Amino acid sequence: MALKPPKLLKSPGSLRNQLLRWLILPLVALVALNAMSLYQDALEAGDIAYDRSLPASTRALAERVSVRDGKVVADVPYVALDSFETDTLGRIYYKVTGLQGETVSGYGDLPPVPKNVPRSDLYPALVRFYHAEYNGEPVRIAALLQPVFDDTMRGIALIQVGETLDARRALSRRILLGTLLRQALMVLAVATLVWFAVRLVLRPLMDLKHEVETRSLSDLSDVDPALVHKEVRPLVVAMNGAMTRMQDLIASQRRFIADASHQLRTPLTVLKTQAELALREDDPAAMREIVRSVALTTDSAIHLANRLLTLARIEHGGGKVQARPVPLAAVAGQVGLELALPAVQKGIDLALEVEDCEDCEDREGGDGAAVDTTVQGDPLLLHELAANLVDNAIRYTPAGGSVHLRVGRRPSGVVLEVQDSGPGIPPAEHDKVFAPFYRAQATLEANPGGTGLGLAIVRDIARMHGASLALGQGEDGRGLKVSVLFAPPERV
């Protein structure tokens, strides 16, 4: 099965650049939309301005329309025709239509008035405005209904005056270009102000960056949150908390290294002394005795090194557990099998008991059914916890004694108990024995070669699993009983 490469997180990039983009680009987009709106407004303004001249032209023509000999006639002089047909920025067209729809004067093919064109409310006359295309050019046309009559007839004549849109578009473009120029200058000014503002606002972050970069490797002191903005202070506080935890971690590592070097120095010194004695010894029997001592000292050093590595792994593992259901009775049984040999070698009675809870709800034990001793945790760490408790009990219990390993259910959860018949620990020292390398006086006399790390490891593993740890006396007031209580998982 092919392994997928880890997914790389995309860097958020520069804060300054993002601020500038999110401030300036929307501004430019809004200016563009505003320019389009202004252009439409300019076209409408141009239509309104130039539409005022079209009714005046239609009325001027209407005054020259009359009825003569029963016919509608338009008396338009040549000078008036010339002024209608051309303008400085375009052309003007007109058409006079009689009572029967006949063309009286002007351009007969001028586009007719479309149906449903509303009458303009801007003028008292019956004027309608509409857009059309004439000779391949767009035109704006005003149509005026003019009453005509004489003694023999009366009716309504239609006067149409249209002009090309060149002048209107030129006016709209001038308005648009002037507006765009002013808005471009405004955008440039705003972009410059935003750039300086962002640079000024981000200066405290740059100062914080400079302060952190110029610090020495050993300087893990807190950064003053007042140096940055209120919104960034939680980040600085979190960074100070991380520095504090780092200081604690470094101090813990230094203490661990110092304690470990001190504890390892003794067995290594003993090994060196024993090796030197073996080199000077000629008696084979004495040589075997020295080699046996070397083996015992080596076992003690290996045991100490393993305990040190376990403690280091637990203390510096981040305190996180990959929790999953673990049958604690099975873990205890495995530990009992692994440590049965040293117990037999010392003549110690090692017993495993799995107890059910008579007061628990939803009992699953009894009548031959297995007791539910499942807890949420890490199997390896729980195995290490049980192994340390049983190993300590065997080491400090004299030959011929007994060690009882119990797993059971209680109303408050699943409990793991290890009870021995050794010297025990006085109640006054119960809190002290969980410190690394601390050893009670009674345990020193029972096992001078101990490490003082077993209960420290048990405490850390129990804490990682949210379990409570208690020390007490064994049966009949003899020995030590260690109880680890695992709270039941929350029910949904």
Question: Tens of pLDDT along 276-288?
Answer: 777 777 778 877 8
Secondary structure element (H or E) that encloses residue 304, with its range: helix 284-315
Distance CA 438, CA 454 (A): 10
Tell me what pLDDT residue 318 has: 54
Q: Is the pLDDT of residue 85 over 80?
A: no
What sign does the CA torsion over 258, 260, 264, 266 have? Answer: positive
Distance CA 430, CA 332 (A): 24
Distance CA 7, CA 71 (A): 91
The DSSP code for 13 is: -
CA distances from 299 to 296, 310, 398 (A): 5, 16, 19
Q: Which two tokens stand for residue 433?
A: 């024995």
Confidence category of residue 411, pLDDT binned at 50, 70, 90: confident
Tell me what pLDDT residue 10 has: 63
Q: Is the pLDDT of residue 87 over 60?
A: no
Q: Is the pLDDT of residue 133 over 50?
A: yes
Say if residue 321 is exposed, middle or buried (CB neighbours under 10 Å; 0-12, 13-18, 19+).
middle
Tell me what pLDDT residue 485 has: 92
Question: Tens of pLDDT along 34-47?
Answer: 878 877 777 777 77
Tell me what pLDDT residue 491 has: 44
- Quick one: average pLDDT of 234-244? 84
- Quick one: average pLDDT of 190-195? 84
Region of residue 479 (left: phi > 0; alpha: psi -120 to 50; beta: else): left
The DSSP code for 238 is: H
The DSSP code for 14 is: -
Tell me, rounded to whole angstroms, the distance of Cα 59 from its chain centroid: 73
SS (H, E, C) 339-380: CHHHHHHCCCEEEEEEECCCCCCCCCCECCECCCCEEEECHH
* DSSP symbols for 178-235: HHHHHHHHHHHHHHHHHHHHHHHHTHHHHHHHHHHHTS-TT--PPP-GGGS-TTTHHH
Give the Cα-Cα-Cα angle 274, 277, 280 (nearest 5 degrees).
155
343 vs 478, residue with greater confidence: 343
For residue 154, which of 62, 70, 60, 74 has the smallest C-alpha distance? Answer: 70
Cβ-based neighbour number of residue 46 at 10 Å: 21
Q: Is the pLDDT of residue 292 over 60?
A: yes
Tell me what pLDDT residue 99 has: 85
Question: Tens of pLDDT along 92-132?
Answer: 888 998 888 888 888 889 999 888 888 777 766 678 889 89
Tell me what pLDDT residue 9 has: 53
Question: Tens of pLDDT along 453-479?
Answer: 667 778 888 888 888 888 888 777 788
CA torsion, ordered 26, 32, 33, 37, to nearest 10 deg: 150
Question: Tens of pLDDT along 355-398?
Answer: 876 656 555 555 545 678 888 888 888 888 888 889 888 888 88
Tell me what pLDDT residue 1 has: 44
**308 contact partners, CB below 8 Å, separation of at least 6:** 256, 260, 263, 264, 451, 453
Q: Is the pLDDT of residue 241 over 60?
A: yes
**pLDDT averaged over the chain?**
78
CA distances from 69 to 72, 97, 151, 152, 458 (A): 8, 17, 10, 9, 127
Using an 8 Å Cβ cutoff, are 300 and 449 in contact? yes
* DSSP symbols for 65-128: EEEETTEEEE---HHHHHHHH--SSS-EEEEEE-TTS-EEEE-TTSPPPPTTPPPPSSSSS-EE
12-21 LR contacts (CB < 8 Å, sep 24+): 15/202, 15/205, 16/198, 16/199, 16/202, 19/194, 19/198, 20/191, 20/194, 20/195, 20/198
Using an 8 Å Cβ cutoff, are 357 and 408 in contact? yes
127 vs 270, residue with greater confidence: 127
Axis crossing angle, helix 454-464 with helix 379-396, rounded to the nearest 10: 150
- Ranked by mean pLDDT, which of 153-167, 260-274, 294-308 comes out on top? 153-167
Cut 0.85: pTM above it: no
Using an 8 Å Cβ cutoff, are 459 and 434 in contact? yes
Tell me what pLDDT residue 262 has: 56
Q: Is the pLDDT of residue 304 over 70?
A: no
Confidence category of residue 445, pLDDT binned at 50, 70, 90: low
Q: Is the pLDDT of residue 271 over 70?
A: yes
Tell me what pLDDT residue 324 has: 84
- Ranked by mean pLDDT, which of 288-292, 295-299, 310-314, 316-320 comes out on top? 288-292
